[in-house]
Copies of this chain bind each other. A is one copy, B any other.
Amino acid sequence: MGELIGKKTTFSELQCSKNLAATEDALYVVGGKWTLRVMIALLSGHTRFNDLQRTIKGISARVLSGELKDLEINDLLKRVVDPNQKPVAVEYIPTEYSQSLKDIISALADWGLKHKKKITTHE
């Protein structure tokens, strides 16, 4: 193992495998390229298909469609159809459970902000 310089370890050996296993589980659900982007848009009140596609820059209908299906399977959103609306309206509503993603999103957003500052000021 680390013989030379870095004796500092942020996680213990035991925590390493725990962390690896737990983040493995998290990344399996939420680690896809688009998953969190979709969830952020959903949690911000964008609930319609075309609205989501406009909000999430670069996503194609095919990929968005797939993401929404996976997210429903994982209980992160509910697909709700309103037949009363003129051309049948479909809404994708984030579930109560999806609120638990807030911590992950906040942590990522904070880090992204700090990182951008770092690379724009220093380098």
Contacts and interface: CB of A to CB of B under 8 A. Distances in A.
Interface of A: 1-6, 9-13, 15-16, 18-27, 29-31, 33, 36-37, 40-41, 43-48, 51, 55-56, 75, 80, 82, 89, 91, 93-94, 97, 99-116, 118
Judged by DSSP, the binding face of A is helix
Given A16-B46, A102-B10, A80 B23 contact: no
A40 B16 contact: yes
Given A10-B99, A102-B10, A27 B22 contact: no
Copies held by the complex:
2
Given A6-B91, A82-B4, A116-B25, A18 B104 contact: no
A98 to B, nearest CB: 8
26 contacts: A1-B47, A1-B51, A2-B46, A2-B93, A4-B82, A5-B93, A6-B47, A6-B91, A6-B93, A9-B43, A9-B45, A10-B44, A11-B40, A16-B44, A19-B109, A20-B37, A22-B108, A22-B110, A23-B36, A24-B112, A26-B109, A27-B37, A101-B111, A104-B107, A106-B107, A107-B107
